[in-house]
Chain A
Amino acid sequence: AQSVTQLDSQVPVFEEAPVELRCNYSSSVSVYLFWYVQYPNQGLQLLLKYLSGSTLVESINGFEAEFNKSQTSFHLRKPSVHISDTAEYFCAVSEKGGSEKLVFGKGTKLTVNP
């Protein structure tokens, strides 16, 4: 069975600073990888996903994540954060084939301070 570890439960940063949210996964088969974002008192929104092909994937609001198979990682990065990026970020993995259920990490709360 697959599992996801998000190494930091909270990440405080200052506005315009770079940020990296770390995610490692464990699986015995090939996987799809996702980052979801949850703004305060809202549901989850898909931020970006890796299905196949290029290992670097980007979102429309400046985030990017790189799939590293050898290190079983899918870290999320942004070179310059805004106050509006304050949210909780969840990494998730789905094994290819079968029921393709999502398994989530425990989340990382990103707080961007002025």
Chain B
Amino acid sequence: NAGVTQTPKFRVLKTGQSMTLLCAQDMNHEYMYWYRQDPGMGLRLIHYSVGEGTTAKGEVPDGYNVSRLKKQNFLLGLESAAPSQTSVYFCASRPFRTSGGTYNEQFFGPGTRLTVL
């Protein structure tokens, strides 16, 4: 299994450009997450999905959109990039926990480093 993969690994955008980050997982996990990591801020949740076709806002959703058309993929879109969106973006996934079952931790991808000029 490849686990959680992210495409691309690096990207440089100009202000106002758009792009989509792809997260793919081959573990058949129900839950998927997008985080951003900034120096001194830890990881902050942007959006997440609890299953195919569903998405929800996290802590810092403004300026981002997401889609989960297939269970294995979770896309993060920037419609009009801003310098404040310069960050490292991490995707994560975890399996669904049945009632009374053991909590399952999140598995993280390697990250995408995005610079917006």
- Within 8 Å CB of B102, what residues of A? 51
Interface residues on A, range: 20 to 34
Name the residue of chain A whose CB is nearest to the CB of B6.
A43
Q: Is B108's beta carbon under 8 Å from chain A?
A: yes
Q: Is A99's beta carbon under 8 Å from chain B?
A: yes
The stretch among A60-68, A69-77, A78-86, A102-110 that forms the contact with chain B is A102-110
Q: Is A7's beta carbon under 8 Å from chain B?
A: no
Report if A102-B42 is in contact (Cβ < 8 Å); known contacts: A43-B90, A43-B111, A44-B90: no
Q: Is B58's beta carbon under 8 Å from chain A?
A: yes
Contact B42 A9 (CB under 8 A): no
- Smallest beta-carbon distance A39→chain B, Å: 11
Which of B50, B58, B97, B105 has the most C-beta atoms of chain A within 10 angstroms of its own C-beta? B105
- Smallest beta-carbon distance B17→chain A, Å: 25
- Smallest beta-carbon distance A108→chain B, Å: 10
Q: Could you mark each residue 83-114 of chain B with 1 if its beta carbon is under 8 Å from any beta carbon of chain A, else 0?
A: 00000001010000100001101101111000
Report if A100-B42 is in contact (Cβ < 8 Å); known contacts: A42-B110, A43-B108, A44-B90: no
CA distance A107 to B45 in the complex (A): 15
Contact A43 B45 (CB under 8 A): no
Q: Is B60's beta carbon under 8 Å from chain A?
A: no
Contact A45 B108 (CB under 8 A): yes
CA distance A5 to B18 in the complex (A): 35
Contact B42 A46 (CB under 8 A): no
- Smallest beta-carbon distance A109→chain B, Å: 10
CA distance A106 to B40 in the complex (A): 6
Contact A46 B105 (CB under 8 A): yes
Q: Report B's interface with A, CB cutoff 8 A.
A: 33, 40-45, 48, 50, 56, 58, 90, 92, 97, 102-103, 105-106, 108-111
